[in-house]
Structure 1
Amino acid sequence: MPDIAQEALDSAKSAHHRIDGVEREIKDIRSLTAAVATVNTKVDGLDSDVKEIKSDVKAITSRPGKWWDKLIAAIIGAIGAAVAGTIIAAILKVGGAA
Protein backbone atom coordinates (compact mmCIF):
# COMPACT_ATOMS: atom_id res chain seq x y z
CA MET A 1 0.00 0.00 0.00
CA PRO A 2 2.73 2.56 0.60
CA ASP A 3 3.63 2.39 -3.09
CA ILE A 4 0.09 3.42 -4.05
CA ALA A 5 0.23 6.40 -1.69
CA GLN A 6 3.57 7.45 -3.11
CA GLU A 7 2.26 7.11 -6.67
CA ALA A 8 -0.75 9.26 -5.77
CA LEU A 9 1.53 11.85 -4.21
CA ASP A 10 3.82 11.85 -7.24
CA SER A 11 0.80 12.13 -9.53
CA ALA A 12 -0.53 15.11 -7.55
CA LYS A 13 2.88 16.84 -7.71
CA SER A 14 3.01 16.26 -11.47
CA ALA A 15 -0.51 17.65 -11.83
CA HIS A 16 0.46 20.76 -9.86
CA HIS A 17 3.49 21.33 -12.10
CA ARG A 18 1.31 21.03 -15.20
CA ILE A 19 -1.28 23.39 -13.70
CA ASP A 20 1.46 25.93 -12.93
CA GLY A 21 2.61 25.68 -16.54
CA VAL A 22 -0.92 26.19 -17.81
CA GLU A 23 -1.36 29.23 -15.56
CA ARG A 24 1.81 30.78 -17.03
CA GLU A 25 0.56 30.12 -20.54
CA ILE A 26 -2.82 31.68 -19.72
CA LYS A 27 -1.05 34.82 -18.41
CA ASP A 28 0.97 34.97 -21.63
CA ILE A 29 -2.19 34.58 -23.71
CA ARG A 30 -3.89 37.37 -21.75
CA SER A 31 -0.90 39.65 -22.32
CA LEU A 32 -0.93 38.81 -26.00
CA THR A 33 -4.67 39.50 -26.20
CA ALA A 34 -4.19 42.92 -24.60
CA ALA A 35 -1.36 43.71 -27.02
CA VAL A 36 -3.48 42.67 -30.01
CA ALA A 37 -6.34 44.87 -28.78
CA THR A 38 -3.95 47.83 -28.57
CA VAL A 39 -2.63 47.16 -32.07
CA ASN A 40 -6.18 46.83 -33.38
CA THR A 41 -7.08 50.24 -31.95
CA LYS A 42 -4.02 51.79 -33.59
CA VAL A 43 -4.81 50.11 -36.92
CA ASP A 44 -8.36 51.48 -36.80
CA GLY A 45 -6.93 54.95 -36.26
CA LEU A 46 -4.53 54.50 -39.15
CA ASP A 47 -7.36 53.34 -41.39
CA SER A 48 -9.32 56.52 -40.83
CA ASP A 49 -6.14 58.60 -41.32
CA VAL A 50 -5.40 56.84 -44.61
CA LYS A 51 -8.95 57.45 -45.84
CA GLU A 52 -8.64 61.15 -44.97
CA ILE A 53 -5.27 61.39 -46.74
CA LYS A 54 -6.66 59.66 -49.83
CA SER A 55 -9.57 62.09 -50.05
CA ASP A 56 -7.18 65.05 -49.63
CA VAL A 57 -4.90 63.69 -52.36
CA LYS A 58 -7.86 63.25 -54.71
CA ALA A 59 -8.95 66.83 -54.06
CA ILE A 60 -5.45 68.15 -54.69
CA THR A 61 -4.89 66.13 -57.85
CA SER A 62 -8.26 67.16 -59.28
CA ARG A 63 -7.43 70.89 -59.01
CA PRO A 64 -5.16 71.12 -62.09
CA GLY A 65 -7.84 69.35 -64.11
CA LYS A 66 -10.39 71.91 -63.00
CA TRP A 67 -8.01 74.75 -63.87
CA TRP A 68 -7.43 73.32 -67.36
CA ASP A 69 -11.18 72.96 -67.84
CA LYS A 70 -11.71 76.61 -66.87
CA LEU A 71 -8.86 77.75 -69.13
CA ILE A 72 -10.21 75.80 -72.12
CA ALA A 73 -13.72 77.13 -71.48
CA ALA A 74 -12.35 80.69 -71.38
CA ILE A 75 -10.43 80.17 -74.63
CA ILE A 76 -13.48 78.72 -76.36
CA GLY A 77 -15.58 81.60 -75.05
CA ALA A 78 -13.06 84.15 -76.33
CA ILE A 79 -12.93 82.49 -79.75
CA GLY A 80 -16.72 82.38 -79.88
CA ALA A 81 -16.95 86.04 -78.94
CA ALA A 82 -14.39 86.98 -81.60
CA VAL A 83 -16.23 85.00 -84.27
CA ALA A 84 -19.55 86.51 -83.24
CA GLY A 85 -18.01 90.00 -83.24
CA THR A 86 -16.54 89.45 -86.70
CA ILE A 87 -19.88 88.25 -88.04
CA ILE A 88 -21.73 91.20 -86.53
CA ALA A 89 -19.14 93.62 -87.90
CA ALA A 90 -19.47 92.06 -91.37
CA ILE A 91 -23.24 92.30 -91.18
CA LEU A 92 -23.09 95.94 -90.13
CA LYS A 93 -20.64 96.80 -92.96
CA VAL A 94 -22.85 95.10 -95.50
CA GLY A 95 -25.95 96.70 -94.03
CA GLY A 96 -24.29 100.13 -93.95
CA ALA A 97 -23.10 99.84 -97.54
CA ALA A 98 -26.53 98.97 -98.82
Structure 2
Amino acid sequence: MGGLPYFSGGAGYPDRSAAFRSTIAKVAGLKCDIVIAAHPSATDAFGKAARKSAQANPFIDPDGCRKLAAGAGKNLDARLQREREDKAKLPQG
Protein backbone atom coordinates (compact mmCIF):
# COMPACT_ATOMS: atom_id res chain seq x y z
CA MET A 1 0.00 0.00 0.00
CA GLY A 2 2.93 2.21 0.58
CA GLY A 3 1.44 4.63 3.03
CA LEU A 4 -0.45 5.26 6.19
CA PRO A 5 -2.94 5.49 7.73
CA TYR A 6 -4.14 1.94 7.62
CA PHE A 7 -7.88 1.39 8.00
CA SER A 8 -6.92 -1.52 10.26
CA GLY A 9 -4.82 0.64 12.57
CA GLY A 10 -1.13 0.81 13.31
CA ALA A 11 1.62 3.42 13.60
CA GLY A 12 -0.44 5.56 15.95
CA TYR A 13 -3.68 5.28 13.98
CA PRO A 14 -6.70 3.49 15.48
CA ASP A 15 -8.39 0.56 13.75
CA ARG A 16 -11.36 2.01 11.86
CA SER A 17 -12.41 -1.13 10.02
CA ALA A 18 -15.35 -1.81 12.38
CA ALA A 19 -16.67 1.72 11.82
CA PHE A 20 -16.46 1.23 8.07
CA ARG A 21 -18.30 -2.10 8.34
CA SER A 22 -20.98 -0.51 10.52
CA THR A 23 -21.55 2.26 7.99
CA ILE A 24 -21.65 -0.23 5.11
CA ALA A 25 -24.27 -2.25 7.02
CA LYS A 26 -26.36 0.89 7.57
CA VAL A 27 -26.26 1.73 3.86
CA ALA A 28 -27.24 -1.86 3.01
CA GLY A 29 -30.32 -1.51 5.20
CA LEU A 30 -31.53 1.74 3.66
CA LYS A 31 -34.60 1.76 1.46
CA CYS A 32 -33.70 3.73 -1.62
CA ASP A 33 -34.89 3.79 -5.20
CA ILE A 34 -32.14 5.97 -6.65
CA VAL A 35 -28.54 5.99 -5.42
CA ILE A 36 -26.31 8.99 -6.07
CA ALA A 37 -22.75 8.12 -5.11
CA ALA A 38 -19.69 10.32 -4.81
CA HIS A 39 -18.16 8.63 -7.85
CA PRO A 40 -20.16 7.47 -10.90
CA SER A 41 -18.36 4.13 -11.06
CA ALA A 42 -19.77 3.13 -7.65
CA THR A 43 -23.26 2.82 -9.14
CA ASP A 44 -22.51 2.36 -12.87
CA ALA A 45 -24.01 5.80 -13.51
CA PHE A 46 -22.62 6.09 -17.03
CA GLY A 47 -23.81 2.59 -17.95
CA LYS A 48 -27.25 3.36 -16.57
CA ALA A 49 -27.38 6.61 -18.54
CA ALA A 50 -26.56 4.69 -21.72
CA ARG A 51 -29.33 2.14 -21.00
CA LYS A 52 -31.99 4.71 -20.10
CA SER A 53 -34.98 4.83 -22.42
CA ALA A 54 -38.46 6.29 -22.39
CA GLN A 55 -39.83 2.98 -21.08
CA ALA A 56 -37.11 1.88 -18.67
CA ASN A 57 -35.15 3.90 -16.15
CA PRO A 58 -32.19 1.87 -14.82
CA PHE A 59 -31.50 4.57 -12.22
CA ILE A 60 -34.58 3.35 -10.32
CA ASP A 61 -33.35 0.31 -8.42
CA PRO A 62 -34.90 -0.70 -5.09
CA ASP A 63 -31.76 -2.79 -4.40
CA GLY A 64 -29.42 0.12 -5.15
CA CYS A 65 -28.25 0.73 -1.58
CA ARG A 66 -27.73 -2.98 -0.98
CA LYS A 67 -25.68 -3.26 -4.19
CA LEU A 68 -23.62 -0.17 -3.31
CA ALA A 69 -22.93 -1.59 0.16
CA ALA A 70 -21.96 -4.99 -1.27
CA GLY A 71 -19.40 -3.31 -3.51
CA ALA A 72 -18.10 -1.21 -0.64
CA GLY A 73 -17.77 -4.33 1.51
CA LYS A 74 -15.75 -6.10 -1.19
CA ASN A 75 -13.53 -3.04 -1.58
CA LEU A 76 -13.00 -2.85 2.18
CA ASP A 77 -12.15 -6.56 2.36
CA ALA A 78 -9.62 -6.12 -0.46
CA ARG A 79 -8.06 -3.10 1.21
CA LEU A 80 -7.78 -4.85 4.56
CA GLN A 81 -6.15 -7.84 2.86
CA ARG A 82 -3.59 -5.52 1.20
CA GLU A 83 -2.95 -3.92 4.59
CA ARG A 84 -2.33 -7.32 6.19
CA GLU A 85 0.11 -8.17 3.42
CA ASP A 86 1.80 -4.77 3.70
CA LYS A 87 2.11 -5.04 7.48
CA ALA A 88 3.58 -8.54 7.17
CA LYS A 89 6.46 -7.03 5.18
CA LEU A 90 7.31 -4.49 7.89
CA PRO A 91 10.27 -5.22 10.17
CA GLN A 92 9.12 -6.84 13.41
CA GLY A 93 10.33 -5.53 16.73
Q: Quick check: TM above 0.5?
A: no
TM-score class, shorter-chain normalisation, is 0.3 to 0.5
Task: Decide which structure has the larger Cα Rg and report it.
Answer: 1
The structure where strand makes up a greater share of residues is 2
Higher helix share: 1
Higher relative contact order at CA 8 Å, sep ≥6: structure 1 or structure 2? 2
